[in-house]
Chain A
Amino acid sequence: MSNGINFAFLDEYAKREIRRSVIKAICIPGYQVPYSSREMPMGRGFGTGGLQLTLALIGADDTLKVIDQGSDDSVNAVNLRKFIEMTCPGIDTTTRLQEATLIQSRHRIPEQPLRADQILVLQVPYPDALVIVEPSEDKRKIMHGEADYSRLLVKLYEDIVKFDEITISHRYPTRINGHYIIDPSPIPRYDVPRLNHSEALILFGAGREKKIYAVPPHCLAEPLAFDDVPFRIEDFTDSHGERRACKLCGSKTSFLDEFIDEQGARVYQCSDSDYCEQQQELAHG
């Protein structure tokens, strides 16, 4: 590049370290692999972990999709995409999920199914599901090693006693391959079942907390629950018991964003803008 910055910003040693960590993460599903995590030219918390994964994996023949809150046009997604385009000359970007080989996302797994030749990179603020019951990382590491998740289960139980309901709304603790419990990043509960036996490799990058972990393809991913209190996704039924629909495409299956329109009425719209547009295209032929 003209300003002397390497392809994909990071120096090659840094990329190699990240790729090695990714391989380790795939080999031990759900285990948080520590890595050195370089400073990126954007804020810690803005997806620097996901960004480092993307930059370490991307090549000139890749097609990249970046989404934030399900939208390709969210300012943060735009910002990340612009930076990656600037530092990775030759790559293509897209908003259509089907065209992408690499997808970086914050807070959502795309609505439509992923393929085996795609990689989903999720940005992670808090990599450790145990942080809600144990602040010390040193102690959490031991708990993970021993698969000691009793305090997490107690927390869920206490919720049921207090509220008759598990109150964890997003970042829902999910057990991977029967051992490690991960924080699946702040995806809604709606997205959690789609981690299970995914066709695509799903990678998680926490830049500030310096961790990488993975849910490999065809891997078991089970949200934490009890036999008699099942895991429940967000409820989008209205007072008549009808599933709410997206006001734009009419989908009655998608995850919905709720907002107030200019008339003051509460309306719903697909959170995944690409899916919503594709549904509208289908409807209009």
Chain B
Amino acid sequence: MGYVAIKGGGRAIDGAADALELLRTRQGESARPLDTDTIEKQLYFLHSRILSEGGLYHPQLASLAIKQSLGDTLEASFALRAYRSTKPRLLETPVHDTSNMRLIRRISASFKDIPGGQMLGPTTDYALRLLRMDLLNESPEQFQAIAKTLLAGLPQQSGADSFPKVLDSLRAEGLLPQVNQAAREQPFDITREPLIFPVPRSAALATMARGETGSLLAIAYSNMRGYGDVHPTVAELRVGYLPVMLPHPISGELTEVGEVLMTECEVVAMYQGDDNKSVPTFTLGYGACFGHNEVKAISMAILDRALQKGMQDGAENPSEDPEFVLLHVDGIDSMGFASHYKMPHYVTFQSDMDRLRTTQQKQEAGHE
């Protein structure tokens, strides 16, 4: 057993941990602890956000992270991300085709009639943001009856649940560049390699896929407002469950091992006039992340477009600069560093004071 050297600081930390635990449980005797299923289902969008920013698809542990962090999105994603560090990477999936997604929602802002049709699905887009006072005193019975009634009204089989991609039809018309199969690079794994600029597009996409929603939104918004000129149209936004395929350990045959809830967004942007002789086409931006996070996927698609433009023509705006965007959108990094300023900086501050006093003295001496 090792000798342990601890004094006052250790007691203070223990005390702080207790105070936080009290904060979590202070509701007292009438309280029921949140169970992880409730978090996953009733705090669905919060849960989605943690899955995505945590960069690990583990619905139950994402719920646990939300529970133990008292709903702090940065902290919860952080706990999930740190858990990831303890696990070796065993396998890589092949590239997945999202046309196989089992969709719960799918829209296009570019065409009214898309093959398969628009499917609004669960969304707040057209909801009036009026507080529903009746939910203040919702009884468990009322609550349970709602889903039952809604599900009873549905037909048993509601048709196909996977649809072709909108982009495929644009591609068939020659409005988009063809997919260059030969140029398909080995995806860059940001969890195993540091970003050394310039980085491939796959590294940018991976970084944004687990980026912090607010950070992505803020930088994408700067582009939308005029610090940039992507002017996107949402060709397709889809939310659904993507079957995950892995090679069978014995036969090597691709086998479905489960499915992940994902949001995917493809934006089409106006052709940027340049002087090369190739046939002009629209340009593309792509966004995808775990969970149901539409604003994040749209922001990411816009930034992907902006970054591609920046890499090609040089960055004219922050949102087009890969270093600016990719090194500042990670919530774990940025919140950690912002929090670290709460730590003591006695030594460096002592040094600062030494410099300030010395320069003050020199200046005073100069005035005499």
Q: A: which residues have CB within 8 A of B? A: 5-6, 9-14, 17, 34-41, 43-46, 48, 68-70, 72-79, 81-82, 85, 90-95, 107-108, 125, 135-138, 141, 163-165, 167-171, 186-189, 208, 210-211, 234-235, 255-258, 271
Contact segment of B24-32, B238-246, B348-356: B348-356
A188-B347 contact given A39-B84, A165-B355, A235-B358, CB 8 Å threshold: yes
Inter-subunit contact B351/A188 (CB<8 Å): yes
Among candidates B85, B194, B336, residue contacting A34 with C-beta atoms closer than 8 Å: B194
By beta carbon, the residue of chain A nearest B338 is: A45
Most A-side CB within 10 Å, residue of B86, B340, B350: B350
A12 touches B88 (CB 8 A): yes
Q: A45-B339, A73-B7, A164-B362 are in contact. Are A169 and B352 (CB under 8 A)?
A: yes
Which of A12, A70, A135 is in CB contact (< 8 Å) with B347?
Answer: A70
Tell me whether B10 and A43 are in contact (CB under 8 A): no
Q: Are A107 and B84 in contact (CB under 8 A)?
A: no
CA distance A168 to B356 in the complex (A): 10
Report yes or no: A78 in contact with B6, Cβ–Cβ below 8 A.
yes
* Bound Cα distance from A36 to B347, whole angstroms: 30
Interface residues of B in 322-337 (CB under 8 A from A): 323, 327, 332-333, 335-337
Q: Which B residues form the contact surface with A (CB < 8 A)?
A: 2-10, 12-13, 78-79, 81-82, 84-89, 191-198, 323, 327, 332-333, 335-341, 343-348, 350-355, 358-359, 362-363, 366
Across the interface, B85 reaches (CB within 8 A) one of A10, A74, A171, namely A10
**How many angstroms between the C-alpha atoms of A170 and B355 in the bound complex?**
10
Asked if A256 meets B350 with Cβ closer than 8 Å, knowing A36-B191, A36-B192, A94-B3, the reply is yes
Query: How far, in whole Å, are A284 and B344 apart by their CA atoms in the complex?
Result: 31
Q: How far is the CB of B309 from chain A (nearest CB, A)?
A: 17
Cβ of B337 and Cβ of A82 under 8 Å apart?
no
Q: Are B9 and A43 in contact (CB under 8 A)?
A: no
Interface contact A11-B87, CB-CB below 8 Å: yes
Q: What distance in Å separates the Cβ of A271 from its nearest Cβ neighbour in chain B?
A: 6
Contacts of B12 in A (CB 8 A): 75
User: Across the interface, do A258 and B323 meet the contact criterion of CB distance under 8 Å?
Assistant: no
